[in-house]
């Protein structure tokens, strides 16, 4: 079992399941002491159990990331984070003409505003050499049937670039990973027809695995990665290359 003493501390939001859980397990394997923040109690215990099976420890913090007091408390009762992975996000499908402002507010509240608030509070205490990795989405380039999500993830990309510039003087590096279609519970928001249509657009013909995103995050969060900031790494099996249908 790994000892938590003397280890750099990482925080993974939405780390109870899906991509976040894979990231948390990977960072634990990389030598971080990892806190997983999630609102889903069951997901947190399943993540902790999976970590235990692999002889790692994941520390669970059950909270809603839109609760600023709870987030501040989590940050203040721990040593400064060496790495923060802002992964928690929500997704649902709705055509442009069916959307209303409330859909945008909900998507922005967790995908963008909660990410900003947590990062701002934590960054005040973070030391030079620390990393923030924001999980955006390939959808920031554009996608059908979820304009609110697309807009929120495009905003994450903009925020990542702005944070990178303002936090660089403190030695904090900020990057984003933009996943394409990844096989997680989030895909349940797609009808089988829409999922099939999405898969048909994949040059590799398949969805990615949460571990594919964890690999990219591991690289960006690593202490040796110290000259990359403000970048967006697309991990999408080539989907962002377009359809390849000729000129």
User: Under the rule (CB under 6 A), what is the footprint of ligand NAD?
Assistant: 14, 16-20, 38-40, 43, 64-66, 87-91, 110, 135, 137, 179, 181-182, 184-187
Name the residue nearer to ligand NAD (CB basis): 163 or 182.
182
Residues 125 and 167: their CA atoms lie apart, in Å, by 12
β-partners of residue 119 are none
Question: Least distance from C-beta 180 to ligand NAD, angstroms?
Answer: 6
**Per the structure block, which two tokens stand in for 198?**
């999405």
User: Cα 89 to chain center, whole Å?
Assistant: 7
Question: Least distance from C-beta 21 to ligand NAD, angstroms?
Answer: 8
Question: Least distance from C-beta 84 to ligand NAD, angstroms?
Answer: 14
**Per the structure block, which two tokens stand in for 22?**
């894979």
Name the residue nearer to ligand NAD (CB basis): 13 or 130.
13
Residues 117 and 98: their CA atoms lie apart, in Å, by 29
Strand stretches in the chain, DSSP E: 9-13, 33-38, 58-62, 83-86, 131-135, 173-179, 232-235
Residues 212 and 182: their CA atoms lie apart, in Å, by 9
Name the residue nearer to ligand NAD (CB basis): 115 or 164.
115
Name the residue nearer to ligand NAD (CB basis): 90 or 151.
90
Tell me whether residue 149 is one of the annotated catalytic residues: yes
Question: Least distance from C-beta 141 to ligand NAD, angstroms?
Answer: 11
76-66-117-186 Cα dihedral, nearest 10 degrees: 110
Q: Which of 32, 56, 140, 149 is catalytic?
A: 149
Catalytic annotation, residues: 149
């Amino acid at each position: 079992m790994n000892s938590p003493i003397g280890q750099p501390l990482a925080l993974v939001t939405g780390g109870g399941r899906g991509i976040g859980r894979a990231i948390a397990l990977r960072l634990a394997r990389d030598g971080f002491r990892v806190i997983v923040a999630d609102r889903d109690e069951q997901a947190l215990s399943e993540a902790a159990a999976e970590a235990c099976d692999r002889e790692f420890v994941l520390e669970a913090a059950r909270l809603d990331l839109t609760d600023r007091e709870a987030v501040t408390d989590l940050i203040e009762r721990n040593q400064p984070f060496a790495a923060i992975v802002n992964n928690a996000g929500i997704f649902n499908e709705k055509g442009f003409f069916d959307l209303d402002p409330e859909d945008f507010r909900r998507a922005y509240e967790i995908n963008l505003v909660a990410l900003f608030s947590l990062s701002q509070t934590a960054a005040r205490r973070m030391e030079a050499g620390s990393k923030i990795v924001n999980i955006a989405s390939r959808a920031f380039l554009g996608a059908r049937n979820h304009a609110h999500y697309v807009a929120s993830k495009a905003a994450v990309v903009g925020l990542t670039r702005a944070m990178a510039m303002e936090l660089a003087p403190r030695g904090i590096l900020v990057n984003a990973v933009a996943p394409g279609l990844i096989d997680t519970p989030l895909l349940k928001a797609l009808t089988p027809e829409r999922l099939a249509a999405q898969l048909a657009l994949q040059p590799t013909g398949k969805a990615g695995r949460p571990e594919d995103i964890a690999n990219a995050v591991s690289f960006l969060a690593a202490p040796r990665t110290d000259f990359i900031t403000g970048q967006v790494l697309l991990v999408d099996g080539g989907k962002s290359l377009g359809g390849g249908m000729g000129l």
